[in-house]
Structure formats: C-alpha cells, structure tokens
Amino acid sequence: MAELLLVRHGETEWSRSHKHTSWTDLPLTPRGEEQARALRGPLAARKIGLILVSPMDRAVRTARLAGLEDLTVEPDLREWDYGGYEGVTTDEIHRTRPDWNLWTDGVPPAGPDHPDHADHPGESPERIGDRVDRVLARIAPDLAAADGADVVLVAHGHVLRVLTARRLGLPPSAGALFRLDTATVSRLGSEHGRPAMVAWNVGSESISGQGATGSGGTPAG
C-alpha cells in the first residue's frame, strides 16, 4: 500500500546553530548537501508518485539532490512562521520568557523595525494545523490510488511534525512528541484501515524499510 514519506531538508547554518528558521531562505551547508545526496539511493527503491515540496530553496535543493523529479511546490508546506522569533534560539527566548512553549503558545509577530514585519505575523499551533490539514486533504486521493505509489513531502521540521500529528488524528500541539532531524525520512502508513507510523526520523540506510536508526539532533527550520 502507498505510504506518506516525509523528508526534512538537509542542514543549514541556522539549523546547525539551533536558530528558528522560517522565511529566511538559507542555503544548505556542504554537509547538508551531502546529507541530501545520501537519500538518493534509498528513495530510488520506493515507488513514488506525487511529490510536494516547500517553496523554500533549502527544501527544493534537498529534493533535487535526493533524486526526486517532477516536483510540485506547495505553499502550505512552508515552515511555521516564527514571527518575532525568526533567527532566535529557544535558549535566547527563555531568557525573557522562561515558560514559553512553541507548541502551545505560538509566536509573536515580527516587530515594526523588521522590514517585512507585516508579512510575518507569527503563527499559532491552530493556524499551522489548518495549513497542514489542507495538505492532507490534497494528497488523500493519491494515497488512496490503486497504483500504490508513495506520496513524498519535502519540507521543514516543525511543519512536518504538525502534519504528522494531524495525520494520526492528534491536535497540532502533539507535534512536540515527534523529534525530527535534518535529512531524515519518516514513513506514515496504515494498520487496520487507520493511519499509523511505520518508521520515524530514520537515516538513509533505513528508508527502504531495512531498519530504523535515528540521526543526530538538530532543531526545526
């Protein structure tokens, strides 16, 4: 049966330094490009149909380096809008808001001194949940198609974690339960007619279903 494959983009400078990254379109680091190329062989072993990718260059570049073709850009796969916390680490936020939690509190808008502040109001968990629900509705016919071809989504850490929660029937805040590292692939399938997790946060050696080994930790973006 078809599975939903979730690919997080390779490493960037800000993912490496734990800075929240949404609209800032940083390129992959050399290591990030190497990580993406390592996905090529295992992904080639899958029967892939629809491929949706975030409009950000780091996601598109990862998809192409991983050998994915016929990409369709899906704006709803862009990362959680971090508003005023763009480029800021969680440790820095906790200096002034020690109890802050992205998954329940969301983020404030970008300040008026930011040139693009009007375009980045920040997002609540509910708002990003609405976005990923639209993606899930869009891909539902492809996942149900008789040809059994997988659907691949190439995007970012937090948006894919929220999408996973919603696919499994959980609230957006439950994305906090699913750590997701750079250049990993996760597989969502089904059991007894219900969505189920098949493999999570696995490295290139495990994507084709030969096992599951988590990669090193990096934050979302």
**What residues form DSSP beta bridges with 152?**
5, 51
Alpha carbon dihedral 126, 112, 28, 164, in 10-degree steps, equals 0
Give the whole-angstrom CA distance, residue 116 versus residue 131: 21
Rounded to 10 deg, the angle between the 57-65 and 30-38 helix axes is 50
- Catalytic status, residue 3: no
Q: Are 120 and 109 in contact (CB under 8 A)?
A: yes
Task: Decide: residue 130, CB within 10 A, 0-12 exposed, 13-18 middle, 19+ buried.
Answer: middle
- Catalytic status, residue 33: no
Indicate which residue of 3, 9, 11, 74 is catalytic. 9
DSSP state of 14: H
Indicate which residue of 3, 11, 74, 79 is catalytic. 79
DSSP state of 5: E
Alpha helices in the chain (DSSP H): 13-16, 30-38, 40-44, 57-65, 90-96, 102-105, 125-144, 157-167
Q: So which residues are the catalytic ones? A: 9, 79
